[in-house]
Amino acid sequence: MTPWPRRSLEPRSAVSGSESARLTGEASPPIGRLGLFLRRQDEHAYVHDLWPDIAARLRLLGLLGGLVCLLGSIVDWTQLHDSPPFFWLLAVRLAVLALGLYLWRVARPGAVARPAQLRTALILFELGVIVALRLVNLGYGEFSPYQGLTGLLIVASAYAFVPMLSPVNFWLLPLGTASLFIQAYGWHHASWRDLSALLVIALYVHILGWMTAAHNARSGRLLWLERQRLEKEMRERRTAESNLRHLFEVCPVPLVLSQQDNGSVLRFNRAAQALLDPERRHTEPGSAYASNFYADARARSAVTDALKARGEAGPVDVRMLTSSGNHIHVMLAASSLRYDNKAAVLTSLVEITDRKQREQALTRMTQTDALTGLYNRRGFFERANALLQSARDQAPSLLLIDADHFKRVNDAHGHAVGDTVLVQLANRMNAALREGDVIGRIGGEEFAVFLPATSLENAYELADRIRLSVSRHALRIQGLRVPMTLSIGVTVLQLGESTLEAALGRADTAMYQAKQNGRNRVDLAAASVL
């Protein structure tokens, strides 16, 4: 007999709410004292669902029980030979076999699950066995304690083995034993001495049997409810997952799901595929890496660092590279999550290339001198100050260049020619510069040049080259020969100087000094020694 936890030995009040609800969620069907569902439709669903197991046990019971009952005829023969009681007992045993076969048929392999029919067939078979046992006692015309013990053994196996499908199954077993005692005492006049020992065993078998059967019935039903709940949860989870997957796919915002550890792309949604991989080169999971799509490694590591530190990054504007090699601008936001039990990153992208280009065009406009195409004053200071902040090992130098007697050009040839002179001067200066130098027109006929990592000596040489390139070859404008000269002030910045202002003041003084000293000159700022 199966052991069970101590608390289940005590008869229970109906576990309608608490336990089954705790195990199976709010709306669990109530279970009664006998471990059966209180509602018929719940019992029906339970048997229907566990049909293969329940039917297998009952068809074995029907077939074996019926055959064993028939085999009892051999014992009848040894007792009764070919007397009339032998034949009517044979008829009774055949009837029990028929009921057993009926139970087998209802529960046969492949049969349609019919819980109500199965319940009836089981009750009929049990009734048949009880009636047959009583008639055997009657046919033998005597009562022996061995017959009583055999009956109790059958009862004990029934409690342990037969699945209880209705309260009738519980009541029939003690009813069968009670009928045995009534028959033994009332019909066969058995002595109380013989019956008392059997009565103690019978009470023990029935009390233990009821508890075992009720415990088994309850455990089976609770397990079934738990399984139902889990299956429901799984179904709901699968539905939620499929909805999410669908939403992910059709979401108009480009979304990329990637592994956090190596950046391997697990999935693009349609919009992200169209944006980052228009030629659909990476349709298989793992065939692309998120890092491939960043145009700027620094932006990529900023996003990665933020994800590691806070679990999310952005929104931030990032330049990206599509799989076809085009640069695009996106506003990127990313957050860490778990996917397939691994750390993953969901990145959303909003393309802002047009906006960015408009912004850049606008910025260029506000930073550019419309006449010469050089930086204007604002643009020059923004660019040069940015370079100044990043100056590390060698200090930069600054030139301030002013056209000499420019007013005379305007006066002599008109403003339009003056404009062209400014453009040609800008071109000549530009031609003398290296890549990385920054030149701007910061006043009417005044230019500034920022020379990153340039010594005063080199800056002086460059300034003089510029001066000579203008003074040695007069400008030619619409057939006019316009000789021009430049006065240039030169200064070097100190490492650690945070703005250009002081340096510009020094260069301006040096340039003014050059004017004073006769123009067409390069002068160094005071305290600057070559």
Ligand X SMILES: Nc1nc2c(ncn2[C@@H]2O[C@H](COP(=O)(O)OP(=O)(O)OP(=O)(O)O)[C@@H](O)[C@H]2O)c(=O)[nH]1
Residues involved in catalysis: 445
Residue 366 to residue 375: CA distance in whole angstroms: 9
Under rule CB under 6 A, residue 318 binds ligand X: no
117 residue type, one letter: Q
Q: Is 183 in the site for ligand X (CB under 6 A)?
A: no
Q: Segment contacting ligand X (CB under 6 A): 89-97, 187-195, 236-244, 402-410?
A: 402-410
From the list 45-53, 383-391, 401-409, 459-467, the region that binds ligand X by CB under 6 A is 401-409
Q: Which of 463, 449, 429 is nearest to 493 (CA)?
A: 449
Cβ proximity to ligand X, 11 vs 444, nearer residue:
444
Candidate ranges 59-67, 94-102, 380-388, 396-404; the one touching ligand X (CB under 6 A) = 396-404
Site map 471..510 versus ligand X, x via CB under 6 A: ----------------------------------------
Q: Which residue of 144, 335, 410, 430 would you call a contact of ligand X, by CB under 6 A?
A: 410
Q: What is the C-alpha separation between 480 and 472, in angstroms, rounded? A: 16
3-class DSSP state of 328 = strand
The correct pick among 42, 76, 277, 402 for binding ligand X (CB under 6 A) is 402
Q: Name the minimum Å distance from CB 446 to ligand X.
A: 8
User: Using H for helix, E for strand and C for coil, what is the string for 394-458?
Assistant: CCCEEEEEEECCHHHHHHHHCHHHHHHHHHHHHHHHHHHCCCCCEEEECCCCEEEEEECCCCHHH
Residues present in the chain in total: 530
Q: Does 517 bind ligand X (CB under 6 A)?
A: no
Lookup: tokens for 489: 């002030």
- Among the residues of 141-183, which ranges form H helices? 145-161, 167-182
315 binds ligand X (CB under 6 A): no
Complete edge-to-edge strand list for the sheet that includes strand 312-321: 265-268, 255-259, 342-351, 327-339, 312-321
Based on the shown chain and the rule CB under 6 A, indicate whether residue 369 belongs to the binding site for ligand X: no
Please identify, using beta-carbon distances, which residue of 102 and 447 lies nearer to ligand X: 447
Give the distance between the most distant pair of CA atoms in the chain. 157
Nearer to ligand X, 27 or 370 (CB): 370
**Does residue 405 touch ligand X according to CB under 6 A?**
yes
Closest CA to 164 of 83, 281, 43, 259: 43
523 binds ligand X (CB under 6 A): no
> Closer to ligand X at the Cβ: 253 or 371?
371
Question: Strand pairing partners for 317?
Answer: 331
Torsions phi, psi of 441, nearest 5?
-95, 110
Stretch that binds ligand X, among 16-24, 216-224, 413-421, 521-529 (CB under 6 A): 413-421
**377 contributes a contact to ligand X by CB under 6 A:** no
Distance CA(504)–CA(448), nearest Å, equals 9
Minimal distance, residue 525 CB to ligand X, in Å: 18
**DSSP codes, 202-251:** HHHHHHHHHHHHHHHHHHHHHHHHHHHHHHHHHHHHHHHHHHHHHHHHH-
> If binding is defined by CB under 6 A, does position 139 make contact with ligand X?
no
Interacting span for ligand X (CB under 6 A) from 119-127, 306-314, 405-413, 462-470: 405-413
- 516 is an interface residue for ligand X by CB under 6 A: no
Of the two residues 465 and 515, which places its CB atom closer to ligand X in the complex? 515
Distance, CA of 422 to CA of 406 (rounded, Å): 9
Which DSSP state fits 37? B
CB-wise, 133 or 442, nearer to ligand X?
Answer: 442
Interacting positions 422-481 with ligand X (CB under 6 A): 422, 444-445
CB of 448 to ligand X, least distance (A): 15
Does residue 418 interact with ligand X by CB under 6 A? yes
Residues engaged in binding ligand X (CB under 6 A) = 371, 402-407, 410, 415, 418-419, 422, 444-445, 515
